[in-house]
Structure 1
Amino acid sequence: MILSDEKGTIRFGLLTIFILVGVFGGWAAFAPLKSGAVAVGKVSVINDKKVVQHLEGGVVDEIYVKDGYKVKEGDILLKMRNSKLQAELNASQTDYLQNSVLEARLIAQRDNEEQIKFSDELKKLKGFKRASEAQISIFNEQRKILSDEKEILNQRISQLYKQIDGLNAIISSRKLRVESLDEETKEWDRLYKEQLSDKIRLRDLKREKIAIDGEIASNTAEIARLNVQITETKSQMILRESAFKEDVLKQLESVTKSINTLRSKYIALNDQLARTEVRAPVSGTIVGMTAHTVGGVIRPGDPIMYIVPDSTEYIVEARMNLTDIDKVTIGLLSDVRFSAFELQQAHVVEGEVVYISADSLQDGNGHQFYEIKVKLTDKGVKELENNKFFLLPGMPAEVMVQTSNRTVLSYILNPFTNMFKRAFNED
């Protein structure tokens, strides 16, 4: 009985072993097993990241972002200290305003305008009211001075004309007296010839006529002198206006040059002040910040940070061993692992080989490799988005390129198969 039981147990054990071997063999013969070539690399971008720089450099006043921050185009990233620049801009604006309102006043005086015309640009500037009121006061004062001077000269001319009118009236009356004397002289001359009178009266009449003729000549000369004075007074008025216009034009030429210089300086300072607010050139993610401290100094043109645009496509640049490159071709799917992510479901995403270097490369240590580039497929990108993970340039990644599919049994037997192939080859 004991022997029979032992045989039964042995048979049962052997049957169990045969069943297990059969099941395992069947599974090994048909169970798929992925084989692949492993490469290590890092995340890179297809589109170049945008560098953020500052033209003039300076001292950091405020920082609003850090590495990994998402920003939109135009967002303020940091501010540079601008107190000195603001003071220069205020001084430049004041000079520009003063010269501009002066120019407006000179233009009005040049064109004989009744009031100054100020542009809308000037009216918006700080301090315009005070500056414009000062120029309006000067304009009105000089206008009154010129008007008073012209009035005085016009009055003098009017007086001279009145004197001429008076002298002409005297001359007219004297000429009438001369005509009367001529008739009276003829009458007395006839009486004298008829010996009815002596020459005394005749001589008196002639002497009176001579005196009146002299008076007429003197008054005529005085009229000529007064006309000369009128001409001189009119010339004086013209010269005064010309001198004033000449002075206005000289001032206008000078102030226009100053305004052009000040406008260029004002625009340059205003642009420079605007640049103290460092803004994002594109929407994207902040990486590679070098400015971390308020009060730190940034040199002109040095990179402050980089922005990876939102539209950027990511790839993995990896180094493949020389012994595995013969199995890798463009278009093969790959499993990409990102060790930076902590959640297990986000470790592996699908990618596709899109580039293989034409020849082997060598690093600084003399190690040779082939460079491959793996782009995430739509499925892989969706997996990252579903888990709310975002790639950043420089993240470490491991790539396993799926070179072929085989069974577990072929994987186990492969070393023996290769050994037998080498054993039956003749030298």
Structure 2
Amino acid sequence: MNQMTTEFARPVVRRSSNLLLWAILAFFVIAVIWAAVTNLDRTVRATGRVIPSSELQVVSNPEGGIVQRILAKVGDTIARGAPLLTLDRTQMNGELGSGRATIGALELKIARLRAEIAGQEPRYPAVSDPALTAQLVVERALHTARLADLANAVAVAAARLDGAEREAVGSAALVRARDAVRDEKLHEVGVIGPLVERGIEPRLSLVQAQAAADSARAEAEAARASLARARAQVAEARSAKAVARQQWRAQAAAELVAAQADLSAKGQSLPTLENRAARTVVRAPVNGTVNRVLVTTPGGSVQPGQPLVEIVPADDRLLIDARVLPSDIGTVAIGQTAKVSLTAY
């Protein structure tokens, strides 16, 4: 009985040993296959820095100035157009205000000159700036003074015309009187001549009558010449009156051309001043993250074009610029996917 039991157990032990052998062999095959197809994560330490794939956006100001407020901090996420810092705009405001005041004053002057040329009462644009209100008073005073100058010039010309007309009237009356005397003397010559031929009057009477007639004729011609001069003076005085008005308007027209040219020049420079004033608020050119703020002191001065803020664009990719230890080079390959963790120090 014992012998049979021993013989039966031997095949069972042999089969168990075979199964264990096959299990061990299968384990090693599976381990080799798993090692061939499975990637294991490995930690590699390196020192480096995070950099953007493209250039940083360096913000500057073309005019420079005094820093008034610093609004951005390192790490801030900002949108395009967001204010980063402000510069003192006292000087810019002064230049801009002066430019606007000059334009307003020129507009008032142009309104006055146009009215003077047209012979109308000026219609000035509405003003609210105290400086322009004062300029409006000046323009109204200038208009009143200009009208007084015109009235004086016209009055002088009118007085001259009146004197010339009176002289012309007197000359015309003198011509008529001298013509009458001449005609009378010629009539006397006509009467005395036949009497002398008949011996009734002496020849001396005829000579005297002819001399008187010649004198009367000369005086009549002189009166006519005086009348011609008087009439010329009348025409000249009338022309002088018209010229006084024309010169007054011509002066206004010349001033108008100059004022319009100045207004055009100032109008073209005003947008430049407004842009310069607007640029005293330094704004972000792109969406992104503030990398560095290069000015830290309000009240400090910055030069034109000086870098003020660095921004990493939001749509930019970040790169890791790191130096791997020689002992870890074998575990790093080109194109390998890596998970990066940043330490605090």
Bin for the TM-score computed over the shorter chain: 0.5 to 0.7
1:286 aligns with 2:290: yes
Q: Distance in 2 between matches of 1:276 and 1:336?
A: 41
Structure 2 counterpart of 1:38, from 34, 44, 56: 44
Q: In structure 2, what is the equivalent of residue 80 of structure 1?
A: 87
Q: Verify the 8 A CA contact 2:59 2:284 in the aligned structure 1.
A: yes
For residues 318 and 120 of structure 2, the distance between their equivalents in structure 1, rounded to whole angstroms, comes to 67
1:11 maps to which residue? Answer: none
**Equivalences for residues 62-81 of structure 1 within 5 A:** 62-81=69-88
Change over 3 Å in CA distance of 1:298–1:189 after alignment to 2: closer
Per mean C-alpha deviation after superposition, the further-off stretch among 252-261 and 265-274 is 252-261
2:340 aligned partner, one-letter code: V
Are 1:114 and 2:115 an aligned pair?
no
* Matching residue of 1:391: none
Give the C-alpha shift of residue 44 in structure 1: 1.8
Q: Does 1:142 align with 2:146?
A: yes
Query: Could you report, residue by residue, the CA deviation over 1:146-187 in whole angstroms, capped at 9, with x for unpaired residues?
Result: 244134314523542453244234424542453354334323
The corresponding residue for 1:216 is 220
Q: Distance in 1 between matches of 2:134 and 2:278?
A: 27
1:11-410 mapped onto 2 (5 Å cutoff): 28=31, 32-34=38-40, 36=42, 38=44, 40=46, 41-95=48-102, 97-98=104-105, 101-102=108-109, 112-114=117-119, 127-195=131-199, 209-210=213-214, 212-227=216-231, 229-230=233-234, 233=237, 269-322=273-326, 324-325=328-329, 328-339=332-343
Aligned mates of 2:119, 2:107 — CA distance in 1 = 19
Judge conservation of contact 1:106–1:248 (CA < 8 Å) in 2: yes
C-alpha separation between the residues in 2 aligned to 1:143 and 1:70?
66
Deviations 1:91-111 (A, max 9, x none): 4544554466556756877xx
- Displacement, 1:239? 7.7
Secondary structure of residue in 2 paired with 1:334: coil
Q: Is the 8 A contact 1:97 1:125 kept in 2?
A: no
Residue 115 of structure 1 and its aligned partner are, at CA, apart by 5.6
- 1:72 to 1:117, Cα distance in 2 relative to 1, 3 A: farther
Distance 1:187 1:308, change over 3 A: same
- Give the % identical residues: 21
The Cα offsets for residues 175-231 of structure 1, whole Å up to 9 and x where unpaired, read as: 245335433432343345445567798678556535533431332242244355446
* 1:65 positional shift: 2.5
Structure 1, unmatched stretches of 5+, are 1-14, 341-395, 397-427
More displaced 10-residue stretch of structure 1: 161-170 or 46-55: 161-170
Match of 1:6 in 2: none
Q: SS of the residue aligned with 1:337?
A: coil
Amino acid across the alignment from 1:294: P
Contact kept in structure 2, 1:59 and 1:80, CA below 8 Å: yes
SS across alignment from 2:293: coil
Question: Which amino acid letter does the alignment assign opposite residue 216 of structure 1?
Answer: A
Is the Cα–Cα contact under 8 Å of residues 43 and 316 in structure 1 kept in the other structure? yes
The CA distance in 1 between the partners of 2:180 and 2:219, in whole Å, is: 13
TM-score where L is the length of structure 1: 0.57
| Partner Cα distance (2:70, 2:121) in 1 | 47
Change (3 A) 1:296 1:207: closer
Matched pairs, number: 321
Structure 1: distance between partners of 2:326 and 2:124? 75
Whichever structure has more helix as a proportion of its residues is 2
Match of 1:333, SS state, is coil
TM-score between both structures, scaled by the size of structure 2: 0.68
Secondary structure in structure 1 of the residue aligned to 2:338: strand
Judging by fraction of residues, say which structure has more strand: 1
Q: Check whether the contact 2:85–2:283 (CA below 8 A) recurs between aligned residues.
A: yes
For 1:320 and 1:118, locate their aligned partners in 2 and report how far apart those are by CA, in whole Å: 82
CA contact (8 A) 1:47 1:312 kept: yes
Q: Compared with structure 1, are the counterparts of its residues 125 and 316 closer, same or farther at alpha carbon in structure 2 (3 Å cutoff)?
A: farther
How far residue 75 of structure 1 moved from its aligned partner, in angstroms, is 1.8
Deviation at 1:247, TM superposition (A): 6.9
How large is the RMSD of aligned CA atoms in angstroms?
A: 4.8
CA contact (8 A) 1:60 1:296 kept: yes
- Provide the rounded CA distance (Å) in 2 between the counterparts of 1:114 and 1:254: 20
Residues 66 and 302, structure 2, Cα contact 8 Å, conserved in 1: yes
Residues 213-263 of structure 1 deviation map (CA, whole Å, 9 limit, x = unaligned) = 343133224224435544664676688678768977887898789778877
For structure 2, the 5+ residue unaligned runs are 1-16
Q: What residue in structure 2 maps to residue 372 of structure 1?
A: none
